[in-house]
Structure 1
Amino acid sequence: MRGLIAGYVRLTDRISDYVGYLAAGLIFFMGATLMFDAFTRNVINMPVHWAVELTQFTLAAYYFMGGAFTLKNDSHVRMDLIYSALSDRGRAWINLVTSVCLIFYLVVTLIGGISSLDYAIETNERRFSIWNPSVIPIKALLVFCLVLMLMQAISLVFKHAATLRGEKLS
């Protein structure tokens, strides 16, 4: 069983890293899209109406895709008033409790995300703009990233439980 859990943790961490590094590359795409928009609007006086909205979609993807990576690397914001004074076991207990709360939150959010994706597919939901893009791809990405964050949160539970037993999962 320990080998299975360790394999799950390694696989989840690897996927989170891959998706997180892919998300980091989206910054360059967003910058290029906004520069293209500025060029077409100001230099050749032919504005494109989709560039800013595409950048907004890309920013949402960047945010979604970075969630599991942030969890894996413990890079999220934390109030450090009490936490830093705790022992490793005390931190592991706090982390375990907050990870379980996070799992509950992610499950509820995932249920809402799946419902929203179903609605978007059934109605062929689109943004109300000149470009009028479909929202199905970004909602599907949201559901995928929520599943990945849920997997990473479960991985964190395994890691914190191992810390409480005096072991280390990586």
Structure 2
Amino acid sequence: MPGVIRSYVRIVDALNYRLGRVVMYGIFVMVGILLWSSISKTFFLPSLWTLESAQFAMVAYYMLGGPYSVQLGSNVRMDLFYHNWSARKKAWFDAFSILFLIFWLGVMLFGAVESTAYSLEYGER
């Protein structure tokens, strides 16, 4: 690898490590948001912001903490059988499983269109 690319990879790895060390405490932010949501719904008026805040915190935790987990090798590998298969069997499995992906993406697109239509109908911004 050329020196420039090697330096770039080292910088990205270092940034990823530092960011991951900070983001791993984001679980406490999510717990705090969900705890406040439970308390406010039980004793006070429910806070409307807690659901979206918890979702955004979870996405940030996943998107920023995932690379850190992969970097440390602590991610869960899902290729229990797949890595032992021949290239031909992998290709057949991929060709079959892509149908499920296309179906899921279609469902997601349908939901997005419905939500967008609802938002436009009621003038949400």
- The residue identity in structure 2 corresponding to 1:75 is S
> Separation in 2 of the partners of 1:10 and 1:21?
17
**TM-score of the superposed pair, with normalisation by structure 2:** 0.55
> After TM superposition, what 4+ stretches of structure 1 lie above 4 angstroms from structure 2?
80-83
> Separation in 1 of the partners of 2:15 and 2:66?
12
Coordinate RMSD, CA, aligned: 2.8
Question: Quick check: which has more Rg, 1 or 2?
Answer: 2
- The residue identity in structure 2 corresponding to 1:33 is I
Gaps of 5+ in 1: 84-124, 129-133, 135-170
> Separation in 1 of the partners of 2:9 and 2:49?
40
Paired position in structure 2 for 1:144: none
How many residue pairs end up in the alignment? 86
Paired position in structure 1 for 2:13: 13
Question: Kindly tell me: are residues 48 and 3 of structure 1, through their superposed partners in 2, closer, same or farther at Cα, counting changes over 3 Å?
Answer: same
Question: Kindly tell me: are residues 82 and 64 of structure 1, through their superposed partners in 2, closer, same or farther at Cα, counting changes over 3 Å?
Answer: closer
User: Structure 1 residue 76: deviation in Å?
Assistant: 2.8
Paired position in structure 2 for 1:47: 46
Paired position in structure 1 for 2:34: 34
Deviation per residue, 1:68-116 (Å, 9 max, x gap): 2123222333335696xxxxxxxxxxxxxxxxxxxxxxxxxxxxxxxxx
**TM-score of the superposed pair, with normalisation by structure 1:** 0.42
Question: Kindly tell me: are residues 82 and 54 of structure 1, through their superposed partners in 2, closer, same or farther at Cα, counting changes over 3 Å?
Answer: closer
Gaps of 5+ in 2: 84-115, 120-124
> Separation in 1 of the partners of 2:73 and 2:80?
13
> Separation in 2 of the partners of 1:47 and 1:80?
44
- The residue identity in structure 2 corresponding to 1:6 is R
Q: Does 4-13 or 19-28 show the bigger shift?
A: 4-13
Q: How many percent of aligned residue pairs carry the same amino acid?
A: 29
User: Structure 1 residue 29: deviation in Å?
Assistant: 0.7
Structure with the greater relative contact order (CA < 8 A, sep ≥ 6): 1 or 2?
A: 1
